[in-house]
Amino acid sequence: MVNFGVPLAPLHSRLIWFILLALLCFVGFLYWQSQQSTENGRGPGGAIAVKTAMVQSQAMSREVSAIGTGIANNSIQLIAPSSEFLVELNVNEGKKVAQGEVIARLNDVQQKARVAELEAVLSEQKRQLDRLKNLATTQATAQSLLDEQQTRVNSTLAQLDTARKQLQDMTIRAPFTGHLGLRQVSRGAYINAGTVITTLDDMQQLRVQFSIAERYLAEVAVGMPVTVTNIAYGNIPFKGTVSAIDTRLDPVTRSVTVHGIIENESLKLRPGMLLNVRLQLENREVVQVSEKALVPQQNRQYVFVVDADNRVTQKEVEIGQRIPGWVEVVTGLDVGDEIIVEGVQKVRTGVTISKVGS
């Protein structure tokens, strides 16, 4: 083994000391940088440098967003009034029908015969009644016979009215103008009373049902503008107005149900659709703060309020409507309060701040 006369142990020892010295310098450099960062975030006297703003009251264009459901303005199921054969069916699925148009007709032979029979009986009874009235003028008949015959006539008239109504019900007509749904039966089938033949929906106007929080109840009114969108049509807005407000609130959710009317002549919107609703409230003066001032913690929102001695206090606030860059404060702040809007991450309750660019 060749030995050049350089001891190995001292060489290893110097290498270790060199590495330790380099690590010590690196740690010192990191500490110096942290101190510089701390000093840069502080103002004169060690106070934390932040930007503040005064809380102001401003007019806000306020909207309430909700999820709604489309409902036909008028919607019914056309059903069979009695058990009989279906002899006529005019259901063209999706077709628009006018009010009074014949949709279906049941076999009405028996009802027609019953009406004809009662009309004949009534005619004979009226003839007998007229004869008794003539005899009564000569005192040749008792008043009791005349009264009995009048009762028979009245009873037959009632039966005839019922029979005519039953005959009329055998023809099923559209009670309003609308669009037919899918047919559930076939022509010639024997159907039971209560069988659904088809559906009829008036979709020229679509109702949208949605709920809003209790705190908006005093602000919403019939006639306010409503805008809805649906995923099927992207961001295309469909405009309408509030048509009705429920008289009761849901005791569990503390919300009130609202109905709006949307013009739907294009028939793009359908009953049952999921609709994104925006209700435009009246503009009013509200307390606004910058969104940057909010400090969220769990489900609560806080801001840092600055007192006359430039000391900071954390305060919980209740927020309302949001618009880009700003948020409404419902409770927790008053006009004239000074809050921190930049640098909220550097402060805690009780610290002293230095205002920069307030």
Across the range 260-282, mean pLDDT stands at 92
Please report, for the domain that includes residue 316, its CATH number: 2.40.420.20
Residue 37: pLDDT over 70 = no
Residue 55 has pLDDT above 80, yes or no: yes
Q: What percent of the chain has pLDDT over 90?
A: 49
Residue 295 lies in a domain: yes
Question: Domain check: are 188 and 211 in the same one?
Answer: no
Single residue among 146, 161, 193 that ends a domain in this structure: 193
Residues 278 and 351 in one domain: no
- Is 233 a member of any domain? yes
Q: Is 148 helix (H, G, I), strand (E, B) or coil?
A: helix
In a domain, 244, yes or no: yes
CA distances (Å), origin 171, targets 34, 102, 109, 165, 268:
90, 7, 12, 10, 32
pLDDT digits (tens, 9 = 90+) for 64-90: 899 999 999 899 999 999 999 999 999
Tokens coding 185: 């039966």
Q: How many residues does the chain have?
A: 358
Q: What is the mean pLDDT of the chain?
A: 86
User: DSSP code of 147?
Assistant: H
Task: Give 331's strand partners.
Answer: 318
Which residue would you say has higher pLDDT here, 49 or 202?
202
Q: Are residues 184 and 213 in the same domain?
A: no
Residues 90, 170 share a domain: yes
Residue span of the structural domain in which 129 resides:
82-193
pLDDT in tens, 221-258: 999 999 999 999 988 999 999 999 999 999 999 999 99
274 and 315 inside one domain: no
304-337, pLDDT tens digit by residue?
998 888 888 899 999 887 877 888 888 888 888 8
Q: What is the CATH number of the domain that holds 272?
A: 2.40.30.170
Q: What is the pLDDT of residue 6?
A: 46
Do 220 and 143 share a structural domain? no
Question: Where a domain ends, among 284, 305, 323?
Answer: 284
Decide if 15 is inside a domain.
no
Q: Are residues 91 and 179 in the same domain?
A: yes
Residue 35 has pLDDT above 90, yes or no: no
Residue 26 domain-assigned (yes or no): no
CA distance 226 to 244: 12
Domain count, the chain: 3
Q: How many CB atoms lie within 10 A of CB 150?
A: 14
**Strands 56-60 and 284-290, bridge-based pairing:** antiparallel
In this structure, the number of other CB atoms found within 10 A of the CB of residue 351 comes to 15
Backbone angles phi, psi at 297, to 5 degrees: -140, 115
What are the pLDDT digits (tens) for 140-190? 566 778 888 889 999 999 999 999 999 999 999 999 999 999 999 999 999
> Burial, 348: exposed, middle or buried (Cβ in 10 Å; 0-12, 13-18, 19+)?
exposed
Is 330 found in the same domain as 258? no
Let me know if residue 101 belongs to a domain: yes
Q: Same domain for 178 and 260?
A: no
Q: How far apart are CA 326 and CA 83, in angstroms?
A: 66
* Residue finishing a domain among 193, 225, 256: 193
Residues 238 and 279 in one domain: yes
Alpha carbon distance 296, 314 (integer Å):
12
Is residue 32 in some structural domain? no
What is the pTM assigned to this prediction?
A: 0.58
Q: Check whether residue 277 and residue 290 sit in a common domain.
A: no
Residue 89 lies in a domain: yes
Higher pLDDT pick, 137 / 125: 125
Q: Is the predicted pLDDT of residue 268 greater than 50, yes or no?
A: yes
